[in-house]
């Protein structure tokens, strides 16, 4: 970069970072220094992974590598501390050669970020409440007692209204975003998180969960946090099914290449010896899981086999 370019960038009131193709900082402007706690002149040559926190490191490194390789502008969102940023990553070209990438970080309205975070957080207690009401219906003989059944079904309907308006608020927040961006996530990582939460909830001695996952998978469209919640909800439903399964299996793999590439994520429940396997039904998958997969552009399919048990496969677009 020329000295004139650097001086112009120094006057911008938003953080600016210039990186080389190896993922090292070449220049940061004073606003970046102030926001990210970098001393004047000390960022030169520093790996980008040391300048960002948590998942933002991977996002930035991938964006810089892609822009340097393909020369196309990339957009992403990241958080640093309590601040959210909409980031535009552009190629830096000298003598017709891509020599780096420039990142301009624009402030993201905090309200939208917090609203989406609250929406993700509220999904788990909503699912807990639905399970509690279902259990109460069984324990009180509610299906035979009209008084209990009506009261609990009213509660379940109210719960669905809360979930509906929660989803509406999240949709409004996404629609109001200043930068159009498509969220992506690694389904293998989401499945591992769902497995860990299942193990914490269920504990030893209960229905075991076999996990068959590669180290990583191609990123797919959608919200990773919500997909983890959906997987956990599906595992819980299978755990509480009748007859109770002898074991559960959570697996994932990638299939195809190019525009046809997809990731298949499956949940299988294996019956105990001598148990009958119920026929496949739409009720095998919670409605919230079906809606989430559909919003992500995916598809669901459930099969039932007398020996292998029931398997629900989610087909996610890469």
Residue 215 belongs to domain with CATH number: 3.30.565.10
What pLDDT is attached to residue 67? Answer: 93
What pLDDT is attached to residue 89? Answer: 93
What pLDDT is attached to residue 184? Answer: 78
What pLDDT is attached to residue 95? Answer: 84
What pLDDT is attached to residue 56? Answer: 85
What pLDDT is attached to residue 180? Answer: 41
Q: Are residues 208 and 159 in the same domain?
A: no
Nearest to 87 by CA among 22, 184, 14: 14
What pLDDT is attached to residue 203? Answer: 65
What pLDDT is attached to residue 110? Answer: 54
Q: Give the whole-angstrom CA distance, residue 136 versus residue 141.
A: 8
Q: Are residues 91 and 133 in the same domain?
A: no
Residue 102 near residue 15 (C-beta atoms within 8 A): no
What pLDDT is attached to residue 105? Answer: 93
Helix (H, G, I), strand (E, B) or coil at 186: coil
pLDDT tens across 42-53, in order? Answer: 788 899 988 988
User: Could you list the residue range(s) of the whole structural domain that residue 149 is in?
Assistant: 109-180
Nearest 5°: CA angle at 232, between 219 and 298?
40
Q: Are residues 193 and 310 in the same domain?
A: yes
What pLDDT is attached to residue 172? Answer: 67
Q: Are residues 173 and 187 in the same domain?
A: no
User: How many domains, the chain?
Assistant: 3
Q: Are residues 210 and 278 in the same domain?
A: yes
What pLDDT is attached to residue 309? Answer: 82
Low-confidence ranges of the chain (pLDDT < 50): 177-181
Q: Are residues 176 and 288 in the same domain?
A: no
Task: Give the domain-ending residue among 161, 180, 199.
Answer: 180
Q: Are residues 90 and 144 in the same domain?
A: no
Q: Give the whole-angstrom CA distance, residue 318 versus residue 286.
A: 23
């Amino acid at each position: 970069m020329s000295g004139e370019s650097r001086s112009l960038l120094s006057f911008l009131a938003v953080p600016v970072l210039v990186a080389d193709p190896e993922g090292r900082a070449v220049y940061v402007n004073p606003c970046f220094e102030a926001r990210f706690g970098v001393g004047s002149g000390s960022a030169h040559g520093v790996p980008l992974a040391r300048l960002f926190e948590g998942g933002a490191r991977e996002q930035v490194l991938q964006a810089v590598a892609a822009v340097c390789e393909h020369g196309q502008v990339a957009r992403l969102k990241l958080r640093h501390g309590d601040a959210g940023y909409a980031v535009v990553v552009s190629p830096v070209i000298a003598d017709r050669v891509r020599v780096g990438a420039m990142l301009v970080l624009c402030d993201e309205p905090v309200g939208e970020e917090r609203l989406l975070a609250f929406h993700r957080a509220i999904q788990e207690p909503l699912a807990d409440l639905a399970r509690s009401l279902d259990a109460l219906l069984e324990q009180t003989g509610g299906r035979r007692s009209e008084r209990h059944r009506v009261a609990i079904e009213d509660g379940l309907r109210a719960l669905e209204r809360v979930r509906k308006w929660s989803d509406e608020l999240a949709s409004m927040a996404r629609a109001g975003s200043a930068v159009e961006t498509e969220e992506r996530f690694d389904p293998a990582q989401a499945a591992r998180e769902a497995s860990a939460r299942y193990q914490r909830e269920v504990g030893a001695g209960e229905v075991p969960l076999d996990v068959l996952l590669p180290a990583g998978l191609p990123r797919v469209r959608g919200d990773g946090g919500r997909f983890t919640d959906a997987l956990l909800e599906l595992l819980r439903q299978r755990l509480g099914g009748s007859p109770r399964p002898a074991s559960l299996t959570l697996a994932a793999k990638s299939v195809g290449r190019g525009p046809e590439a997809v990731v298949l994520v499956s949940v299988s429940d294996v019956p105990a010896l001598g148990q009958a396997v119920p026929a496949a039904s739409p009720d095998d998958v919670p409605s919230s899981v079906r809606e989430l997969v559909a919003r992500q552009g995916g598809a669901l399919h459930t099969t039932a086999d007398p020996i292998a048990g029931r398997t629900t496969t989610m087909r996610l677009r890469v």
